[in-house]
Amino acid sequence: MGDRCVYPRREFLKRVAAGAAGIAAGVTAGCPAGSREEADGATRAAPTPVASAAPGGPGPKVVMATHSRATLEGEVQPEAVEKLVDAAVVALTGEKTAQAAWNKLFSSDESVGVKVNGLGGPFISTSRHLTAAVVSRLLQVGVKAERITIWDQNPEFLRNCGLIVDSKEWGTNIVPVNIEWTDAPVEAGKFRGRITTIVTKRVDCFVNLPIMKDHGLSGVTLALKQHYGTHENPWDHHDNNCDPYIADLNTIPSIRDKQRLILCDATRAVCQDGPGFNADYLWHPNMLMAALDPVAHDTIGTQVIEARRKEVGLPTLAEAGRPAKHIATAAQRGLGVDDPARITVERLNVG
């Protein structure tokens, strides 16, 4: 099962990029609002002009979708989250409907993983409503519920995300990361550790649901660092601002090639004292970020965190002694693009 991914990540990205080329060209050229705005209900802000990442093709895209009522009095609102998910994935893929977008990303005969993040406690973890929306869309594609596996490091982290181990909620498998490890440690650059067989054997691909917050060592906790919840010994890989360990971990084929979609929960975010929770530095972007390229995603996500730090009078991450240098290392490892001038950023106002 784990060896039969429908198509490798590199080929998959080519296919989606080809489908999104038209919309990316429209973004850089400033195409007028039209039928797609009517289809997905989103209003597009002025797009960020960018250069192509390669001759004849668009650069990686990061969608930043916001909904003014994604949180009310600090509580995440499920209807708003569903609208954010649909609008972001439509924009990311270039399809006209959410159903077509999810059908483009996933196949009904796949086993699909969903990686959540509950390290920050119940106030700054992947929203249960985001997980529910993703599961709903996978079921609509035709993925069988029993072939959907949701995971994080341990039962407590899953509870922080509103999930209970072995509860079979939505008919899915909700499991801690230590359900089973690879027989021997995996080595990649300076990374060495056993990987959960959830990614090596159980799933064909997965959706990455990180959250937006800073980190006391690596600078940020976004898509790339999310996989410290996918291996056995994360604390052995925190030296030197977690660099190059985060990047090396992400080069492992079962992570690199099976990551199909990134949807970052930025309905709530923390710009200081992460990876835990400090209410003094909590803010509500009311946003969902979507991407296929984890390096591009984390590059733009870091900009959002840095902007908030400046707004509240905090030093930059580099000045604080914890630059997010693993992102540049990941780009050097061929995992994506970290040059903002080569990344298309599309901003949507969903409601």
What's the rounded mean pLDDT across residues 143-150?
98
Estimate to the nearest angstrom the gap between the alpha carbon of 99 and the chain centroid.
20
**Is pLDDT at 311 greater than 80 in this prediction?**
yes
Q: Which residue has the tokens 């797609």?
A: 36
**Is pLDDT at 53 greater than 70 in this prediction?**
no
**Per-residue model confidence (pLDDT) at position 59:** 81
Residue 3: inside a domain, yes or no?
Answer: no
**pTM of this prediction?**
0.86
- Would you tell me how many other CB atoms lie within 10 Å of the CB of residue 31? 14
What's the rounded mean pLDDT across residues 202-218?
97
Q: What is the 3-state secondary structure (H, E, C) of the chain?
A: CCCCCCCCHHHHHHHHHHHHHHHHHHHHHCCCCCHHHHHHCCEECCCECCCCCECCECCCEEEEEECCCCEECCEECHHHHHHHHHHHHHHHHCCCCHHHHHHHHCCCCCCEEEECCCCCCCCCCCCHHHHHHHHHHHHHHCCCHHHEEEEECCHHHHHHCCCCCCCCHHHCEEEEHHHCECCCCEEECCEEECEEHHHHHHCCEEEECCEEEEECCCEEECCCHHHHHCECCHHHHCHHHHCCHHHHHHCCHHHHCCEEEEEEEEEEEECCCCCCCCHHHEECCCEEEEECCHHHHHHHHHHHHHHHHHHCCCCCCCCCCCCCCHHHHHHHCCCCCCCHHHCEEEEEECC
**Is pLDDT at 35 greater than 50 in this prediction?**
no
Residue 19 buriedness (CB in 10 A; 0-12 / 13-18 / 19+): middle
pLDDT top residue among 130 and 55:
130
**Is pLDDT at 2 greater than 80 in this prediction?**
no
Give strand pairing partners of 215.
Answer: 219
- For residue 338, what is the domain's CATH number? 3.40.50.11440
Estimate to the nearest angstrom the gap between the alpha carbon of 89 and the chain centroid.
12
**Is pLDDT at 160 greater than 60 in this prediction?**
yes
| Backbone phi and psi for residue 106, each to the nearest 5 degrees, phi listed first | -135, 155
Residue 245: inside a domain, yes or no?
Answer: yes
**Per-residue model confidence (pLDDT) at position 58:** 64
Residue 57: inside a domain, yes or no?
Answer: yes
**Per-residue model confidence (pLDDT) at position 63:** 98
What's the rounded mean pLDDT across residues 103-119?
97
**Per-residue model confidence (pLDDT) at position 170:** 97
Residue 322: inside a domain, yes or no?
Answer: yes
Q: pLDDT confidence of 34, banded at 50, 70, 90? A: very low
Q: pLDDT confidence of 42, banded at 50, 70, 90? A: low
Domain range for residue 315?
9-349
What's the rounded mean pLDDT across residues 76-103?
97
From CA 46, how far away is CA 57, in angstroms rounded?
Answer: 21
What's the rounded mean pLDDT across residues 21-25?
32
Kindly state the percentage of the chain with pLDDT values over 90: 80
What's the rounded mean pLDDT across residues 327-335?
98
**Is pLDDT at 56 greater than 90 in this prediction?**
no
**Per-residue model confidence (pLDDT) at position 52:** 30
**Per-residue model confidence (pLDDT) at position 265:** 98
Residue 4: inside a domain, yes or no?
Answer: no
Q: pLDDT confidence of 5, banded at 50, 70, 90? A: very low
- Would you tell me how many other CB atoms lie within 10 Å of the CB of residue 253? 13
Q: How many domains does the chain have?
A: 1
**Per-residue model confidence (pLDDT) at position 219:** 96
Q: Which residue has the tokens 């270039």?
A: 94
Residue 167: inside a domain, yes or no?
Answer: yes
Say what angle helices 78-93 and 98-105 make with each other, to 10 degrees.
Answer: 60
Lowest mean pLDDT among 3-7, 65-69, 264-268, 276-280: 3-7
Residue 1: inside a domain, yes or no?
Answer: no
pLDDT top residue among 24 and 152:
152
Residue 248 buriedness (CB in 10 A; 0-12 / 13-18 / 19+): buried
Q: What is the pLDDT of residues 286-306, one digit of tens each?
A: 999 999 999 999 999 999 999
Residue 2: inside a domain, yes or no?
Answer: no
**Is pLDDT at 15 greater than 90 in this prediction?**
no
Q: What is the pLDDT of residues 236-246, one digit of tens each?
A: 999 999 999 99
- Would you tell me how many other CB atoms lie within 10 Å of the CB of residue 311? 10
- Please give the mean pLDDT across all residues of the chain: 87
| Backbone phi and psi for residue 207, each to the nearest 5 degrees, phi listed first | -100, 130
Nearest to 273 by CA among 325, 218, 226, 214: 214
